[in-house]
């Protein structure tokens, strides 16, 4: 991605509604105006082009990012769109903004910019509870870093909601889950992208990412201890044999206990080059029966209510 553009999915553009920003098509390493601000796309054209949209085709100028975000906000608040379409637009638009967030060297700004995204998810969960399961069910189709972090955040919001968290706590949880793997910025790309098993030395470096993340977050003011804990403690284990501190049960911050579950769940249910994804219920059942010592049992039990919402929505 060039610094002047960010990716969008064409499915976030509603048919026959005027845009407030130009949309560019990326062809032969050039950016060509595909849709000018003030123009409309027909439903048929959007469906045809969306089928060819790999996620690397359509772009908006970074200078128009606020216009795009305002557009999405207006769609989410519209009475003309059903809650399920709103959920789809919100998730697709958020995926589009993730890369820019994660590549921003200013972590404070990245966290601040993530909050409106998390708030939009929480608002939709509050205003249209039936859409939450559908939104969660959209997750887990691929394992690109940005999608994974967003999906872990969405799952964590669903689990936090099931546990009775209030909106302010959910916001902190959503941000913490979104940045739980920020320490992987300091892990070699060769290790992160390796398709086979890791060597002992590579695994030791990979296991450093919670510490790397804490160092990154500690270097910036106004980041809560809860957000830091989601990053630093999400590989701790309920039975005490996790890393990096070997914390036991309630010594682990609740946010980290939630992310431990949702991070594993996403890994199990997502299509990756080297594994076949598990069905949602099978994944949680395996976590409960074969990996039980790793997770807070009450939180794992609450995960079943999240799965019920997914089933109802599918």
CATH architecture of the domain formed by 82-313: Orthogonal Bundle (1.10)
Checking if the pLDDT of 141 tops 50, the result is no
Phi-psi region of 38 (alpha: psi -120 to 50; beta: other; left: phi over 0): left
Q: pTM of the prediction?
A: 0.85
Across residues 53-70, what is the average pLDDT? Answer: 85
Tell me whether strands 30-35 and 58-61 are parallel, antiparallel or unpaired: unpaired
Q: How many CB atoms lie within 10 A of CB 111?
A: 22
Q: Which segments of the chain are extended strands (E)? A: 5-8, 23-27, 30-35, 58-61
Q: Residue 105: what pLDDT?
A: 78
* Greater pLDDT, 43 or 259: 259
Alpha-carbon dihedral of residues 204, 100, 220, 187, nearest 10 degrees? 10
Question: What's the CA angle centered on 173, arms 85 and 122, to 5 degrees?
Answer: 30
Q: What is the pLDDT of residues 263-291, one digit of tens each?
A: 999 889 886 656 678 888 899 999 999 99
Which of 190-194's residues contact partners 24+ apart within 8 Å by CB, and which partners?
A: 192/145
Give CATH 1.10.3210.10 domain extents, the chain: 82-313
What percentage of the chain exceeds 70 in pLDDT?
89
**Reduced DSSP (H G I as helix, E B as strand, rest coil) percent helix, strand, coil of the chain, to 5:** 60, 5, 35
Question: For position 143, what pLDDT does the model report?
Answer: 42
């Amino acid at each position: 991605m060039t610094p002047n553009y960010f990716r969008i999915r064409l499915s976030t553009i509603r048919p026959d509604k005027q845009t407030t920003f130009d949309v560019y098509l990326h062809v032969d390493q050039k950016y060509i105006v595909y849709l000018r601000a003030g123009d409309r796309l027909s439903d048929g054209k959007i469906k045809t082009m969306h089928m060819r949209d790999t996620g690397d085709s359509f772009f908006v100028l970074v200078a128009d990012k606020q216009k795009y975000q305002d557009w999405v906000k207006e769609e989410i608040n519209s009475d003309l769109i059903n809650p399920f379409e709103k959920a789809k637009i919100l998730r697709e638009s958020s995926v589009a903004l993730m890369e820019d967030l994660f590549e921003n060297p200013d972590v404070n700004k990245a966290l601040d910019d993530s909050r409106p995204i998390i708030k939009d998810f929480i608002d939709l969960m509050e205003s249209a509870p039936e859409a939450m399961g559908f939104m969660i069910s959209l997750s887990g189709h691929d394992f690109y870093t940005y999608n994974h972090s967003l999906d872990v955040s969405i799952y964590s919001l669903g689990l936090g909601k099931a546990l009775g968290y209030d909106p302010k706590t959910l916001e902190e949880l959503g941000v913490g889950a979104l940045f739980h793997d920020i320490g992987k910025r300091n892990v070699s790309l060769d290790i992160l992208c390796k398709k086979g098993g890791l060597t002992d030395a590579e695994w030791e470096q990979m296991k450093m990412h919670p510490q790397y993340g804490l160092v990154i977050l500690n270097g910036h003011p106004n980041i809560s201890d809860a957000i830091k804990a989601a990053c630093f403690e999400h590989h701790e284990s309920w039975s005490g044999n996790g890393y990096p501190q070997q914390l036991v049960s309630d010594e682990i911050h609740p946010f980290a206990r939630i992310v431990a579950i949702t991070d594993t769940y996403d890994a199990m249910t997502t299509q990756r080059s080297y594994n076949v994804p598990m069905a949602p219920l099978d994944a949680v059942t395996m976590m409960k029966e074969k990996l039980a010592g790793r997770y807070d049992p009450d939180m794992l039990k609450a995960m079943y209510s999240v799965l019920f919402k997914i089933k109802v929505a599918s």
